[in-house]
Structure 1
């Protein structure tokens, strides 16, 4: 195995260890509060992304050395295998970069799809209770009817929009209020920007299941936190 591939393997192994230990720790300490779980998994994700920066060094004069996340490989610069090593490392970098570009292209396509959904939607005039709730939580948010969605879809930062399926009107008043409150809390907490960051992090680490696991834990904890906030507002 070439030094570049060994470095990548070391990093991948470190991610498995960190995420595995983090998952076990959540189970051992019974971390059940959604807000605490959200902060915890965000911290784990930040550590995973920052790991390459914690210990990274490449030096070529007189020797070939790589140190990456405590994994170090050293060989003489005159070794005839060095050109092969460089080529293999470049190939691995190209594969990773191609994967990142594919993921980013999918994100761009998703953003374009959301733009089209918004353009095809129509303004929604809801009851006074929901309108009052919107004024309290996110007065800059806009409710719109969309024939293309089956569940509420919330996105946008400067001009946040909440797309509602037509089936929303068939819910009883309490259910409509709870759903609207859930989506408005997402807007009030600016969760859209967090989702964008998380999906870009997933794109960078597309090759590693641990990255996908951490992103999914973050997003699950956020939804659980919003649900708990909705319940708290309902009983207060």
Structure 2
């Protein structure tokens, strides 16, 4: 009796996973260097590069497979009838795959639960009916240039200003935030609507999926944190162009951060006053000089080309490593 002894996880799955993790680390490192090369005031470009990088990370598993050689290098042997035992589940590659899959499923499941929680929070929130709040929302939409409908609601569960949901976004505020000065409220709304205009919520979901797939690589966690911070800085830049002076906006940012309750930042929401990024954001605000719109397109083109070139070379080198069997 002839049987095939090779199983899917015996066909180099451990090598493919290892190469994928190496490529992810290389790509995150290249992205970090490219972002650092850009001037700090080009926040929107820096944030866009991270989104580009996370999209590229989803393609890494495809280039981690050596398509140039047969995928099924099968070994056919003969055993007497009844003596065959399937020992595939005892192979190291099987357990490596199983541990990775369990971790990815756990992170994706946790993020899904957070999404359901903020969705329930948004549904239970009381719609803003104050003419003052609605007028400020419309003014923020006009200044930022958001054409889509955005709902404003109040809930005690919002320990900080939050943006949740897509494609029907909702801005959530705590009830006491409705009593804030108009200038502070307008700054908060401009920032949150900048997230809507930039489509940062889908980008956040993309980042969480990448985090789950590469959960064993700490560089991906680092990259996701950097991307979140650059997104907030980019929205700060949009708010400044909406008519706020840097020092005034920085003061509003500090005042709102003081009001943020501990553990109030929902992982599945975009937040205005994240304390962990406060120092960096205020530093960029106070250091901003003239508007950086001039030359933005050229800078983005050059930075993107550099990232593509460096990442392609690094990934090609790693692919050569896997093709040679890791030797």
TM > 0.5 fold call: yes
- Number of residue-to-residue matches in the alignment: 218
Partner of 1:73: none
Highest RCO, 1 vs 2 (Cα 8 Å, sep ≥ 6): 2
Question: TM-score, normalised to structure 1's length?
Answer: 0.79
Q: CA deviation at 1:14?
A: 3.2
| 17 and 85 in structure 1: CA distance in 2 versus 1, 3 angstrom threshold | farther
The Cα shift of 1:158 comes to 3.3
1:4 and 1:85 in contact (8 A); partners too: no
| Cα separation, 1, equivalents of 2:54 and 2:156 | 36
Offset at residue 198 of structure 1 (A): 1.6
Indicate whether 1:100 and 2:81 are aligned: no
Give deviations 1:135-190, integer Å, cap 9, x for gaps.
53255111111011111111112322111012312321111110011112222333
- Counterpart CA distance in 1 for 2:141 and 2:54 is 34
User: How far did residue 193 of structure 1 move?
Assistant: 1.7
Residue 132 (structure 1) aligned with residue 138 (structure 2): yes
The answer for the alignment partner of 1:161 in structure 2 is 170
Matches within 5 A, 1:34-53: 34-53=43-62
Deviates more, 1:224-233 or 1:16-25: 16-25
Structure with more of its chain in strand, by fraction: 1
In structure 2, the residue matched to 1:71 is none
Q: 1:181 aligns with which of 183, 190, 194?
A: 190
**What corresponds to 1:24 in structure 2?**
33
Counterparts of 1:145 and 1:29, CA distance in 2: 38
2:228 & 2:124 partners in 1: Cα distance? 28
Contact 1:138 1:187 in 2 (8 A): no
Please state how far the C-alpha of 1:24 moved relative to its aligned partner. Answer: 3.2
Q: How far has the Cα of 1:47 moved from its partner? A: 3.2
Structure 1 distance, partners of 2:44, 2:235, is 9
4+ residue runs of structure 1 moved beyond 4 angstroms? 28-32, 83-86
Checking the alignment, whether the CA contact within 8 Å between 1:182 and 1:230 is kept in structure 2 is yes
Unpaired runs of at least 5, structure 2 = 1-9, 78-86, 246-327
The answer to whether the Cα contact below 8 Å between 1:134 and 1:141 also exists between their aligned partners in 2 is no
Aligned to 2:224: 215
Shift of 1:55: 4.5
Displacement of 1:13: 2.9
Residues of 2 paired with 1:235 and 1:153: CA distance? Answer: 20
RMSD: 2.7
3-state secondary structure, aligned to 2:152: strand
TM-score, with length taken from structure 2: 0.59
Residues 147 and 165 in structure 1, CA contact (< 8 A), matched pair in contact too: yes
